[in-house]
A and B are shown apart, each in its own frame.
Chain A
């Protein structure tokens, strides 16, 4: 057990506009954390800072206690070092971002093959296992353009899983999906949470949050406004801003 990832005082501004105003969060092993908040509240940027897809202006992210993207003197890590850390942090994007020229199988296998340096056979074997885990065993040979949005997102989850990450970050994983395809993706996420995977998800899916989240954060204006169990956030929010936002979600 222990803390998997920890953010301390992350700030980020784009051309003078503050997006993150000092966000701290520690995620424990096996925990599922759901982040909600209005658009522009900084939740996506926060998630992207956790694996240094965005470089925070200030603050530090620690993976198992080791700073991400910087060395012990706060200098940026060389590319190889950062890449290695990123391989331990899974990321699932709103728009899936599958590699269009590769089959589902190779989308999942390319990371184990190229980053973890498994043999082609080992990488494909692992990819097959992960695709079974997201219930896509019948679609391994298809390319992204032949898959529905929900299937594409599950391939993306398998791609993250195949790296055997210590945590997976989900950035609005269902908001680009047709309503009838949302369920299959949330089901997979819930299964992962039940299997003890550490997850952090930006999502407004209340059913998922209630069923899977150990903890929820409400963010607004680049800050964590309120933190608590799903019941506390949804049914008895303390802060005025949380109340207003949750009321919108219930509508």
Chain B
């Protein structure tokens, strides 16, 4: 068996184009997913039961179904009800919705990890629910929320490989296109793995840096 170094060298620019698409999609999904997740997390702490139930049902659905099926639902099922999304945006939205479900749960659990006594003390001096949430509970929950959230975002980047099935020309898809022509699965899949690994290493480093910056009490 011969390892085709020339193909590897020639593939790098093509894969880089795919990587660029992966990065674009993931960056957007990270921004939207984190924002939506934080909002849903706050909603899950609402005083209104129907709001809490709606978030619980959403989180339950996201956790209980494969990401691949969620991608299919956004890309293939939404057009049936008249919503046509180009594959790029279908991908961004599917990944965002997925991450948001997990992040909502992380936020809810993080706030729940603060001892109940502090919320009671805040109530005893006349603070209202929203004030307690924003001034007492959320600032303290950062330590509990940030590490699992960055983990979730790393999962999101890995999940973006699934977008190859709705023909988003991202890293995995770009590699498959090369394999289809040159039939070199060993070289190309290894190369793809290295590209993902590098991307995720940067993310992991960023998240460690972020976690070190968190306040300690």
Contact = CB atoms under 8 A, between A and B. Distances in A.
Interface in A61-110: 79-80, 83-91, 93, 95, 97-101, 110
A83 B121 contact: no
Given A99-B136, A101-B139, A143-B217, A86 B126 contact: yes
Contacts, number: 74
B32 to A, nearest CB: 29
Given A53-B120, A145-B217, A100 B140 contact: yes
Nearest to A108: B125
B118 A111 contact: no
A98 B125 CA distance: 12
A86 B140 contact: no
A238 interface: no
Contact of B129 (A79, A91, A143, A160): A79
B24 interface: no
Interface string B158-181: 000000000000000000000000
Given A101-B139, A114-B135, A53 B217 contact: no
Interface in A101-132: 101, 110-111, 114-115
A203 interface: no
Which DSSP category, helix, strand, loop or mixed, fits chain B's interface? helix
A168 to B, nearest CB: 10
B121 A99 contact: yes
B200 interface: no
Interface residues of A, number: 31
B123 interface: yes
A38 to B, nearest CB: 23
A115 B131 CA distance: 9
Given A100-B140, A101-B140, A145-B217, A93 B125 contact: no
A80 B47 CA distance: 13
A159 interface: yes
B46 to A, nearest CB: 12
Contacts of B21: none
A101 B217 contact: yes
B117 A101 contact: no
A7 B139 CA distance: 37
A134 interface: no
B139 A160 contact: no
Contacts of A101: 136, 139-140, 215, 217
Interface of B: 47, 115, 117-118, 120-129, 131, 135-136, 139-140, 215, 217
Interface of A: 51, 53, 79-80, 83-91, 93, 95, 97-101, 110-111, 114-115, 143-145, 156, 159-160, 163
